[in-house]
Amino acid sequence: MSNRIRLPKLSNALLFILLFSVPSALFGQPLFDTWLSYDASHTPIFVFAADLDGDGKPDLAVTNANSSTVSVLKNNGDGTFAPKVDYSTGFNPRSGVAADLDGDADWDLAVANPGDNTVSVLKNNGDGTFAPKVDYGTGVEPYSVFAADLDGDGDNDLTTANFRFSVNTVSILKNNGDGTFAPKVDYGTGANPRFVFAADLDGDGKPDLAVASTNSFSVSVLKNNGDGTFAPKVDYGTGAAPYSIFATDLDGDGDFDLAVANANSNTVSALKNNGDGTFAPKVDYGTGANPRFVFGADLDGDGDFDLAVANYSSNTVSVLKNLSIVICAAKGDMNASGNFSGADIVLELNCVFLQTGNCDFCFADINCSGNLSAADIVLLLERTFQEVCSPTWCGPCP
């Protein structure tokens, strides 16, 4: 396996790296210049970006599984990178995160080490070099780590997802306020938790936890009690073998929904938040083969969060554009195609009689009655085949 990372030449912008290919036709023009290659150490497995040296440019940190190191590559200011500097971690590191752990306004590193059941903390010296690691105990086989202020005291705590089947936990390590950490406290999850994400899921201003549990085909949600302790898990079904999870507002209603990459079903599951930190049943969308990681961002500039999914076995990235937040310019244009056709009628029938599909009243409640009925279907038939637009059709709903 090559011990190099390949990067497109980067502009001075927020960096999100996917080590696979995306067809440029999806966006109408080439996304990147020719890739450049940089040396890392043995078996680079996870990469993340942050301004580590305080010059306003994102640098890179790469965890190297078989050399038990993290490589730091500083940005030269033009999207090229200086040679790596390696720092020791615990054994067999997997994921990592950059966050200000000691309150000095620079980015420190935390790395999850499943080989020796620790998380390594490397404090930034202020210039993008790092002090020797300090290791803290976690549950068995920590596969991922996430940093957030879990107890509301103004500093970043750590949480890890601990993959060992017989244990099935997340560990919480509270920050003592100076970048050292109290002993772990463990909470139960589904089977084989692989990835943890912290976000305010119930709207109380405190980060809750969402955990992808690979062998129970579920996401475990643990609500924050307000002090960095957590209520017992509530599980929600996903596709087969959920590998990673991302929380963002997918439907534009102001709360955090969940997106889950399902490695064995070649899908990503979207779970909409009911507004209180409970979640509606999953809706699955197809991806490439063996999707491992999912990330949400506004990829097409239309104001909503799309999804990018890295597919391990097909060597691709799947891009799923978000269609849930659409200005209601034409009632009855159920597929947002810009015209009316039989496809819109089929979708309207599904909404009225089967209650399936995108049944947003913005599109489907054509007579603005406040419910869906056969009257809406009649109006859509008239508009599609007779080009009749009645007064009850045109204009937004009151």
The pLDDT tens digits of the residues spanning 217-232 come to 999 999 999 999 999 9
- Per-residue pLDDT reduced to its tens digit, 140-187: 999 999 999 999 999 999 999 999 888 999 999 999 999 999 999 999
pLDDT at 129 over 80: yes
Looking at the predicted structure, is the pLDDT value of residue 4 above 70?
no
Flag whether pLDDT at 86 surpasses 50.
yes
**Mean pLDDT score of the chain:** 86
Q: Is the pLDDT confidence value at 12 over 50?
A: no
Residue 21 has a pLDDT of 33
Q: How far apart are CA 12 and CA 219, in angstroms?
A: 35
Mean pLDDT (whole number) for 275-302: 92
Residue 126 has pLDDT above 70, yes or no: yes
Residue 260 has pLDDT above 90, yes or no: yes
pLDDT of residue 29 exceeding 70: no
Report CA Rg, the chain. 23
Does 10 score more than 70 pLDDT? no
- Taking only the tens place, the pLDDT of each residue in 264-274 is 999 999 999 99
Q: Rounded distance, CA 187 to CA 159, Å?
A: 10
Cα–Cα distance, 373 to 178 (Å, whole number):
61
Q: What does pTM read for this prediction?
A: 0.77
| pLDDT, mean of residues 90-110 | 97
What's the 3-state SS for 289-335? CCEEEEEEECCCCCCCCEEEEEECCCCEEEEECCCCCCCCCCCCCCC
Distances (CA, A) of 197 to 219, 229, 354: 11, 16, 34
The residues, any chain, with a CB within 8 Å of residue 354's CB and separated by 6 or more, are none
pLDDT of residue 27: 41
pLDDT, tens digit, for every residue of 106-124?
999 999 999 999 999 999 9
Whether pLDDT at 291 is above 70: yes
Please state the rounded mean pLDDT for residues 304-311. Answer: 91
Q: Which amino acid is at 393?
A: W
Q: Which of 113, 81, 74 has the alpha carbon at shortest distance from 94?
A: 113
Least confidently predicted of 62-66, 81-85, 88-92, 338-342: 338-342
- The pLDDT assigned to 286 comes to 93
Question: What local confidence, expressed as pLDDT, does residue 378 receive?
Answer: 84
